[in-house]
Amino acid sequence: MIRCQSLIWGAPGQPLTTPLNLELESASLTAIIGANGCGKSSLLKVIAGLQKPLAGKVSLSVPRQSGLSFLPQQQHLDRQFPISLEELIAAGFWGRRLSTLLRAQRLKDALENWHLSGLEHRPLMALSGGELQRALLARLSLTDAPVLLLDEPHAALDELGQQLLWQHIHAWHNQGRTIVVVCHDLAAVRQHIPHTLLIKNRECVYGASVELIQQTPHTQVA
């Protein structure tokens, strides 16, 4: 469960919206949509505990450190960092005690599930945008966190990558995880995500995706 109580966020003295009061039930799947700069990613960071709100608070039914996993936008990753794709994905095991055999098997499965087998030793700077995004998603898949926050997970993915993404999101949702996704692809949101928080004109509106998003194929928020 994620509860926002009189939540205000943004730069000091520059709130992005009116106070948000919202409760997302456990095992829910929710999108956050809106124009660029409206505060979607900032809201996700506030929920994740990575950015302080201007006012109000966010309550979670799980501890942030062990119960929440956050997928940032790819642009915030330092691709010059000297690690391989395999080492990046294995970071999803951080803080957990698993046998060497189980770690190896789960890592192998993640590589296969995200079509990354054969790229294990490739450095980050040698990966395409789509390969790096799938690696970040593979890392997320190893965390087993009950709350997943995804900031534009579809970025840089080709058609196959997007199919893999939605397959995994639905699988995670079916496992009972609580998932919040910032997404610009409104047609995909309407098709795959039942509930949406729309940020528009400094107001927040929560409702069914099929009601908040008109059925215009491939419509995207600019």
* Alpha-carbon Rg for the chain in angstroms: 17
9-33, pLDDT tens digit by residue? 998 989 999 999 999 999 999 999 9
Q: What is the pTM of this model?
A: 0.90
- Quick: pLDDT tens for 164-183: 999 999 999 999 999 999 99
Domain 2-212 CATH superfamily: P-loop containing nucleotide triphosphate hydrolases (3.40.50.300)
pLDDT per residue over 182-221, tens digit each?
Answer: 999 999 999 999 999 999 988 999 999 999 998 654 555 5
What lies within 8 Å, CB to CB, of 146 at 6+ separation is: 26, 62, 67, 68, 176, 177, 178
Domain boundaries, the chain: 2-212
Distance of CA 38 to the CA centre of its chain: 17
